[in-house]
């Protein structure tokens, strides 16, 4: 299987070579011909499977050679993802004469506005900033032919659903829609019903593959002992480790504590400036920072394939967050490990995850405001494992 056999035009194939890709990944081989033929798709599953090229290449292919103007829209939840998706698309478009712009908050609108004026074929945008530009008439969506909604469940978690609906309402009737989501909470289903009713669902990043390559472990650790346990663990970890915490303040504190203890560590969270977050991601990608403490939202932007270990310092508040976090390791077919500290107050959250990993029905989740688990809420079968349970084979 080659990229050429998928039906892509020569300028796009040159972009693929510029990216250094030789053979298409599973999702690319499956999705590219369908998207080129005009199909609407819903891609379900984790990132790390090459989905950016799966939607980016056919989008650019369709726009290549057409009249200039904003014809491709990609909506993403975070600035980091915005920058990364745009960087990838610029590489793919490097021989196609198409220009890819970004629109995300935290930077001066006029910089983005002048980029649009220089020429724009595709915009990769975060919902809030996109709406700001639309309202100021810096952009119009009237010529958009193809729209991609990336990480739809994450947009929901971040409260972007009303903005997404407003954006969809401004799009022309005649267009091709693509949506990607790791899970399908009911609000995402209802968005699909309203805006992509006929779309075909495809599994991306083969669930069984991620199940086989990630080893999930849990350790009972009291809250007061967590930092010590983490430091002991990091002393034995030569590779890259991504450490998740639930709150920005805790993230900053833990990053500082690790730095003070002499670890090559840093923290990334939403209270840092866009520039500081970018510098931090670069340092992590280059290996200058090996231990990165992150919140869920900030971690969405990390595009590093060789994360050897994911540590849940704070237990994630929902099953979807657990799946997203663990999915940061074991990418691109490598093996990976996820280790979660479980304090006594986090046992019920752990039970939900353990049941899911063991393929049992997921018990009713502890009540947390605004969280959709997207899983059956009946409980059956034996006691969930706790403490030092080890699930080497995780079926999900
Ligand atoms: P994504 O799922 O789009 O975030 O891609 C995950 C990583 O795989 C990124 O670093 C991509 O550049 C890389 N990648 C995507 N497609 C291919 C391919 N066909 N061959 C090699 N690497 C790829």
Give the pLDDT confidence of 104-116 residue by residue, as tens digits: 998 999 999 999 9
Write the residue with the smallest CA distance to atom 16 of ligand 1: 50
171 shares its domain with 265: no
Q: What is the pLDDT of residue 394?
A: 32
CB 64 within 8 A of CB 9: yes
Same domain (yes/no): 56, 184: yes
Are 243 and 144 found together in one domain? no
351 backbone dihedrals φ, ψ, rounded to 5° = -60, -40
- Separation of 57 CA from ligand 1 center, angstroms? 12
Report CA(259)–ligand 1 centroid distance (Å).
Answer: 31
Average pLDDT over residues 270-278: 87
Residue 392 lies in a domain: no
Q: Which of 167, 183, 203 is the last residue of a domain?
A: 203
Give the chain's radius of gyration (CA, Å).
21
pLDDT: which is higher, 257 or 380: 257
Residues 36 and 75 in one domain: yes
- Taking CA atoms only, the protein residue closest to ligand 1 atom 1 is 50
Helix (H, G, I), strand (E, B) or coil at 28: helix
Any domain includes 368: yes
Q: Tell me the C-alpha distance between 386 and 347, whole Å.
A: 7
Query: Among 334, 337, 353, which Cα is nearest to 49's?
Result: 334
In angstroms, the CA 179 to CA 151 distance is: 8
Q: Decide whether any atom of ligand 1 lies within 6 Å of the 24 Cβ.
A: yes
Q: Please check whether residue 394 lies inside any domain of the structure.
A: no
283 shares its domain with 380 = yes
Rounded distance from Cα 284 to ligand 1 centre (Å): 18
pLDDT digits (tens, 9 = 90+) for 278-314: 889 889 988 999 999 999 888 876 777 789 999 999 9
Closest-CA residue, ligand 1 atom 22, reads 21
223 and 198, same structural domain?
no
Is 289 domain-assigned?
A: yes
Residue 25 Cα: closest atom of ligand 1 = 19
Do 197 and 233 sit in the same domain of this protein?
no
Residue 59 belongs to what domain range?
Answer: 4-203
Verify that 168 and 234 share a domain, yes or no: no
184 shares a domain with 58: yes
- Band (pLDDT 50/70/90 cuts) for residue 85 is very high
72 part of a folded domain: yes
The answer to which of 190-194, 254-258, 367-371 has the lowest mean pLDDT is: 367-371
What is the distance between the alpha carbons of residues 138 and 132, in angstroms, rounded to a whole number?
A: 9
Backbone angles phi, psi at 316, to 5 degrees: -60, 150
Indicate whether residue 336 lines ligand 1 (CB < 6 A). no
Please report which residue ranges of 122-267 form alpha helices under DSSP H.
127-135, 152-157, 161-169, 186-195, 207-213, 226-235, 248-260
Arithmetic mean of pLDDT, 201-228: 78
List of residues 6+ apart from 259 with CB closer than 8 A: 265, 266
88 Cα nearest atom in ligand 1: 12
Distance (Å) from CA 50 to ligand 1 centroid: 4
**Same structural domain for residues 13 and 92?**
yes
Write down the pTM of the prediction. Answer: 0.63
Is 99 near ligand 1, meaning CB less than 6 Å away?
A: no
Last residue of a domain, one of 176, 203, 230: 203
CB distance 4 to ligand 1 below 6 Å:
no
CA distances from 217 to 320, 366, 387 (A): 17, 21, 9
1 Cβ below 6 A of ligand 1: no
User: Does ligand 1 come within 6 angstroms of the Cβ of 363?
Assistant: no
Give me the mean pLDDT over the 182-194 stretch.
88
Same domain? 225 vs 196: no
What CATH number corresponds to the domain at position 93? 3.40.50.300
Establish if 20 belongs to a structural domain. Answer: yes
Q: 286: buried, middle or exposed (CB in 10 Å: 19+, 13-18, 0-12)?
A: exposed
- Which of 177, 203, 229 represents a domain boundary (last residue)? 203
C-alpha 159: how far from its chain's center? 16
Task: Give the confidence band of 184 by pLDDT, cuts at 50, 70, 90.
Answer: confident
What strands, in cross-sheet order, belong to the sheet with 390-391? 265-268, 291-294, 240-244, 307-312, 336-342, 214-220, 390-391
Cα-to-centroid distance, 220 and ligand 1 (Å): 36
* Closest residue by CA, ligand 1 atom 11: 50
Q: Strand pairing of 100-103 and 72-75?
A: unpaired
Q: Please tell me the total count of domains within the chain.
A: 2
- DSSP class of 97: T
91 C-beta closer than 6 A to ligand 1: no
Residue 395 counted as domain residue: no
Cα of 357 vs centre of ligand 1, distance in Å, is 26
Q: How far apart are CA 74 and CA 52, in angstroms?
A: 10
Same domain, 234 and 360: yes
């Amino acid at each position: 299987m080659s990229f050429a056999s998928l039906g892509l035009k020569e300028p796009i194939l040159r972009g693929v070579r510029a990216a250094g890709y030789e053979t298409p990944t599973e999702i690319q081989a499956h999705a590219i011909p369908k998207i080129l033929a005009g199909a609407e798709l819903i891609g379900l599953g984790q990132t790390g499977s090459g989905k950016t090229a799966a939607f980016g290449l056919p989008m650019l292919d369709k726009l290549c050679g057409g009249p200039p103007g904003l014809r491709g829209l990609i909506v993403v939840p975070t600035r980091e993802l915005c920058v990364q998706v745009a960087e990838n698309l610029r590489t793919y478009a490097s021989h196609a004469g198409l220009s890819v712009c970004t629109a995300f908050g935290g930077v001066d609108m006029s910089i983005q506005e002048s980029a649009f004026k220089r020429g724009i074929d595709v915009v990769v945008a975060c919902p809030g900033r996109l709406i700001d530009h639309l309202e100021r008439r810096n952009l119009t969506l009237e010529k958009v032919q193809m729209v991609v909604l990336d990480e739809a469940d994450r947009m929901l978690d971040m409260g972007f659903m009303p903005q997404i609906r407003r954006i969809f309402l401004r799009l022309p009737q005649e267009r091709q829609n693509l949506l990607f989501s790791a899970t399908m909470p009911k609000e995402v289903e209802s968005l699909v019903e309203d805006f992509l009713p006929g779309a075909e669902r495809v599994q991306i990043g083969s669930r069984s593959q991620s199940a086989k390559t990630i080893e999930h472990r849990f350790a009972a650790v009291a809250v007061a002992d967590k930092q010590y346990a983490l430091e002991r663990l990091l002393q034995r970890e030569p590779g890259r480790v991504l450490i998740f915490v639930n709150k920005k303040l805790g993230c900053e504190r833990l990053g500082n504590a690790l730095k003070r203890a002499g670890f090559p560590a840093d923290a990334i969270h939403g209270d840092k400036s866009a520039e500081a977050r970018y510098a931090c991601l670069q340092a992590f990608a280059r290996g200058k920072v090996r231990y990165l403490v992150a919140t869920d939202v900030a971690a969405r932007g990390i595009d590093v394939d060789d994360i050897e270990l994911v540590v849940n310092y704070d237990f994630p508040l929902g099953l979807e967050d657990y799946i997203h976090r663990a999915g940061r390791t074991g990418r691109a077919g490598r093996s990976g490990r996820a280790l979660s500290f479980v304090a006594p107050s986090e046992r019920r959250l752990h039970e939900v995850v353990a049941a899911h990993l063991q393929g049992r029905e997921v018990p009713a989740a502890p009540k947390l405001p605004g969280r959709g688990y997207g899983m059956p809420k009946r409980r059956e079968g034996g006691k969930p494992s706790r403490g030092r349970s080890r699930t080497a084979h995780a079926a999900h």
